[in-house]
Amino acid sequence: MQPRLDMETLLICLRHAEQETPIWEPQADGVPREPDPPLSKKGCQQAEAVARTLHGTRPCQVFVSSAARSQQTGEIIASHLGVGVEVVPDLVEASMGFGPWAPGQRGDVLESWITGSDLNAQLPAGEAGLQVKARMERALGAIASQCQDAPGIVVGHVASLTVGIGSLCQNGPTLLGRPLEHATPFEFRHGHEGWHVEWPVPEVGSHD
């Protein structure tokens, strides 16, 4: 589902707040699974701070992925703003497999996705760029179609948001080297001229 071209839609997007350090634990069935860490204490404070920043926004809803760090961030924001939370599984972070990877291999694959130079690239047991692109375009289009009368807030993940938004705006190469910081909201709009994003500028001296 895609938003109407004759109406402007505003999505306020952000990467989830800081999480606890992921701990990889062996599974009883031997099948590796990506950890799902909750927010750290600092992350909870970040989510509270961004909720205060968004006071007065009057969104229709907060949209989150199936990951705990996204849901916790979204629930804190929604509680402050008095709106509901909807889980959108397609917003989940891009799966890069389980490693071990050669030096720089993960970054090379992600770069090829963001620039669109090789969307078939993938790491063992991970997603291909085409899969990430397709599900993020589907998710963001469906969310925008629900937000014709009021802004929507989207709490996503650094890699999947970058790939999806870069594809929709056709500006992926300009996003390289500009990773999303935790809990930093930015505007993502859709109107008669298509999609447009106000990508946040990283703070000087910050590290992601």
pLDDT digits (tens, 9 = 90+) for 10-26: 999 999 999 999 876 66
Question: Average per-residue pLDDT in the chain?
Answer: 91
Q: What is the average per-residue pLDDT within 176-186? A: 96
Q: In this structure, are strands 9-15 and 61-64 parallel, antiparallel, or unpaired?
A: unpaired
Given CA atoms 173, 180, 25, 102 in this order, what sign does their dihedral have?
Answer: positive
**In sequence order, which residues have a C-beta less than 8 Å from that of residue 197 and are 6 or more positions away?**
165, 169, 171, 186, 187, 188, 189
Angle (CA) 31 37 43, round 5°: 165
**How confident is the model over 93-142, as pLDDT tens digits?**
999 887 677 768 999 999 999 999 999 999 988 999 999 999 999 999 99
Q: What are the boundaries of each domain within the chain?
A: 9-15+36-193
Structure confidence at residue 192 (pLDDT): 87
What gap in Å lies between CA 148 and CA 143, rounded to an integer?
10
Contact 33, 50 (CB under 8 A): no
Homologous superfamily of 9-15+36-193:
Phosphoglycerate mutase-like (3.40.50.1240)
Least reliable range by pLDDT among 124-128, 152-156, 182-186, 201-205: 201-205
**128 secondary structure, DSSP code:** -
pLDDT of 87 above 60? yes
Structure confidence at residue 116 (pLDDT): 95
Please give the model's pTM, rounded to 2 decimal places.
0.92
pLDDT band at 206 (very low <50, low <70, confident <90, very high): very low
Q: SS3 for 71?
A: helix
Contact 109, 122 (CB under 8 A): yes
